[in-house]
Amino acid sequence: MADLTGIPTMNHLTTARIAPQVTRSHWLAPLAPRSRFSLRAAPQVLALAGAAFGVAPSEQACRAVVQGTRAALWLSPDEQLLLGLEADTASIQADLHAALGKAAYSLVDVSHRQTALEISGPNAADILNGASPLDLSLAAFPVGMCTRTLLDKADIILWRTQHDVFHIEVWRSFTDYVTGLLSVIAREYES
């Protein structure tokens, strides 16, 4: 398989990866594997992609839109992180390529690059603030808000899905670092 430049591509190959082991606690849970696509395009192309994906991209900065088992997270004016069921990875990719045709866009499957964690409970925001400079009060970071940020030294995508529930997308190689760091911070709230 080759792209438009004639250079062979690797998107037809699948590499089995072992998910990072995360110890579940009352405030931390690993989330099921998902399909993840980084989509970069002009707003009108993002709108076409939203129709094909089944989730219209947010027109409001730093907001996620959810429809059923799929979500589109606004990361910049020309970038969305698309999340779906792991089993739908191939069909999502095919549908998006078919819908976008010859439009200018970049669609990259990052499903195996990242893993997802859920931080929940009455101290979730406080635990995250132990390593994040963001104001995670509901007034500043309401339900549905998402952003790319740092958690100490790890690049993450942070999404508030409920009042006291946060979804974190983190590169697999940083999972142990992030969970270890958050576990140390959480000890302050476990007594």
User: What CATH number is given to the structural domain containing 61?
Assistant: 3.30.1360.120
Could you tell me which of 49, 75, 55 has the C-alpha nearest to residue 63? 75
Establish if 1 belongs to a structural domain.
no
pLDDT tens track for 140-188: 999 999 999 999 999 999 999 999 999 999 999 999 999 999 999 999 9
Number of domains in the chain: 1
Quick one: angle between helices 89-100 and 43-53, nearest 10?
140
| Interatomic CA distance for residues 112 and 167, integer angstroms | 17
Establish if 16 belongs to a structural domain.
no
| Interatomic CA distance for residues 166 and 55, integer angstroms | 20
pLDDT tens track for 12-45: 444 455 656 767 788 999 999 999 999 999 999 9
The Cβ of residue 9 has, within 10 Å, a number of other Cβ atoms equal to: 10
Establish if 4 belongs to a structural domain.
no
184 lies in which domain range?
28-189
